Amino acid sequence: MAIAFKASTSACTRQQPLGHSTRDQCQYGFTHLNERRSRKGSAALHVRASSGKLDLDFSDPSWRQKYQEDWDRRFNLPHITDIFDLEPRLTTFSLKKNRIPLGDVDGSSPDMWNGYVHKDDRALLKVIKYASSTSAGAKCIDPDCSWMEHWVHRAGPRKEIYYEPEEVKAAIVTCGGLCPGLNDVIRQIVFTLEIYGVKNIVGIQFGYRGFFEKGLKEMPLSRDLVENINLSGGSFLGVSRGGAKTSEIVDSIQARRIDMLFVIGGNGSHAGANAIHEEVNTSTLEFLSSLFPYTIYRLT
């Protein structure tokens, strides 16, 4: 799965009405903010992991450096605390449940095992050094198939989080054409959110249309409901192509008070997620949302 993280720091202010929960306050994606948790700096920040080809002159001795700098620019993502002054809390995602330390049958001594991922961990994206462009599966940057290290952020549960799971509303939408495995992704997102303690999970029916077309209601999702959807083809939520107005989608996200949005699909879905990001960034919305586009087309 390719994952792109969108971050923006548009101005966001609001006077909190009495009787409303903290999830109504100004939010950065799934992070709740208040006056004591302010942005670091006043300039708007745009961050994205994007695709594209750099126009390289291989006769230039510095082409490697230029390529590496371009890669780092596109894929070096900031941590949320680089943007906001936030206090972390211990994660609600437990990896040590029912685990007995090695060599300690009664479990009396401390378990030093740690299954959480550090925020500065990186994973090597390509692990094969091709000797020739004619090698099976070779994807070379230059005619000589020069070796370049592609480091990306490592995925996995962190020891600290920056949101209150019980206050989060998460939404999942599948867009574009059908492909094998969509229901597996929906199912695992729901499972993982519930492990973190997020209970308010909804599905948006029939792609982006579900945000603005009358008669298409949110579908509450839970482990019990999605337990066996991986045994069926298609998309449990339904899909659709095109026809969406970005402003209507963003207005719907705001009206529904959605904090997390998981977009499952391919290039068109990613383009839609980027358009939503741009609309949020340029508007005066009362919350900010992070979008996580997923694609599984290349796994088929």
Mean pLDDT in the chain?
A: 75
pLDDT for position 155: 86
pLDDT per position as a tens digit, 183-211: 999 999 999 999 999 999 999 999 999 99
pLDDT for position 39: 47
Mean pLDDT of 156-164: 89
Q: Does position 111 have pLDDT exceeding 60, yes or no?
A: no
pLDDT for position 95: 67
Tokens 């019980």 map to which residue?
166
Tokens 């006056």 map to which residue?
35
pLDDT for position 139: 87
pLDDT for position 112: 55
Q: Does position 72 have pLDDT exceeding 80, yes or no?
A: yes
Mean pLDDT of 209-214: 91
Q: Does position 12 have pLDDT exceeding 90, yes or no?
A: no
pLDDT for position 286: 44
- Mind listing the domains of the chain with CATH numbers? 7-45+83-94+161-299 (3.40.50.450)
pLDDT per position as a tens digit, 273-285: 888 878 877 765 5
Residue 272: pLDDT band (50, 70, 90) is confident
Q: Does position 27 have pLDDT exceeding 60, yes or no?
A: no
Mean pLDDT of 169-177: 90
Q: Does position 289 have pLDDT exceeding 70, yes or no?
A: no
Q: Does position 24 have pLDDT exceeding 50, yes or no?
A: no
Mean pLDDT of 174-191: 89
Residue 40: pLDDT band (50, 70, 90) is low
pLDDT for position 123: 93
Mean pLDDT of 238-254: 86
Query: Per residue, what are the HEC states of the chain?
Result: CCCCCCEECCCCCCCCCCCCCHHHCCEECCEECCCCCCECCCCCCEECCCCCCCCCCCCCCCHHHHHHHHHHHHHCCCCHHHCECCCCEECCCCCCCCCCCCCCCCCCCCCCCCCCCCCCCEEECCCCCCCCCCCCCCCCCCCCCCCCCCEEECCCCCCEECCCHHHCEEEEEECCCCCCCHHHHHHHHHHHHHHHCCCEEEEECCHHHHHCCCCCCCEECCHHHHCCHHHCCCCCCCCCCCCCCHHHHHHHHHHHCCCEEEEECCHHHHHHHHHHHHHHHHCCCCCECEEEEECCHHHC
Q: Does position 84 have pLDDT exceeding 60, yes or no?
A: yes
Mean pLDDT of 144-166: 90
